[in-house]
Amino acid sequence: MKKITTLGFKASAILFSSAVLFACSNNEDPGLEYAPDMYHSIPLDPYSQIKENKFNPAGMNMREPAKGTVARGKQGYNLYLSVDTAEVAGVELKNPLAKNELNLAEGKVLYSRFCAPCHGEQGDGQGLVGQKFKGVPSYSAGRVAELPAGHIFHVITYGRGRMMPHGSQVNPTERWKIVMYVQQLQTGEVATAVETDEKVENEAGGEAITDNPVTGTSVETPKN
């Protein structure tokens, strides 16, 4: 009886071991995948990659866009600077928006929401946060009063010093409106009354000055 019991235990152990080995085996047949092209895209998909791409750097499907291109549905602002610094942006980037009371008024609202807590309503660096942490410059004093539009746009986008980037909070059009209002504060003015494009056109002797929305450069168009 004892011998039969021992044999029974041994048989059970062998069966259990076999079951464990079979369950943990990686040699199971996964079967066939019907019409795999329906699941795995043949064209290069930037957000899904099955195997190494032989044509792109690092074997990745995703690549940086060609220099000078603008994504479909995005604003046509050329941010491909020769050198990606605020100083270079101040030279190469121009505000593509028309300077009028509407854009300036919207810029003032955006400035009040995102900038005034540090820089103050008057642009004097005396916002509630600025008073607490000190060192926030005044827009109308010293070097800051001479900063060009592109420089300000770059700083809003990427931040500088203790100022954090705001590129994820305000889109490019909103940033340019803020820039427009900040440049008003650079002169020490807080009003939003400005000369409209029509007034500028009349004073220029019938030549309309417009901005190219892609490059931000000004183009003179003779008036018929």
Q: Is 211's pLDDT higher than 60?
A: no
- Is pLDDT at 153 greater than 90 in this prediction? yes
Summarize pLDDT for 88-136 with one digit per residue, the tens: 999 999 998 999 999 999 999 999 999 999 999 999 998 998 888 888 8
Q: Are strands 207-211 and 218-222 parallel, antiparallel or unpaired?
A: antiparallel
How is residue 76 written in tokens? 């046509």
Please state the rounded mean pLDDT for residues 174-192: 87
Lowest mean pLDDT among 108-117, 151-160, 171-180, 183-192: 183-192
Predicted pLDDT of residue 212? 41
The answer on pLDDT for 197 being more than 60 is no
Which one, of 181, 176, 185, lies nearest residue 139 by Cα?
185
Sign of CA dihedral 62, 68, 73, 74: positive
Query: Degrees (nearest 5) of the Cα angle 176, 184, 172?
Result: 5
Burial (0-12, 13-18, 19+ Cβ within 10 Å), 147 = buried
Average pLDDT over all residues of the chain: 76
Position 63 pLDDT exceeds 70: yes
- Structural domains in the chain, sorted by start: 86-222 (1.10.760.10)
Position 12 confidence tier, pLDDT thresholds 50, 70, 90: low
pLDDT for residue 174: 94
pLDDT band at residue 204 under the 50/70/90 scheme: very low
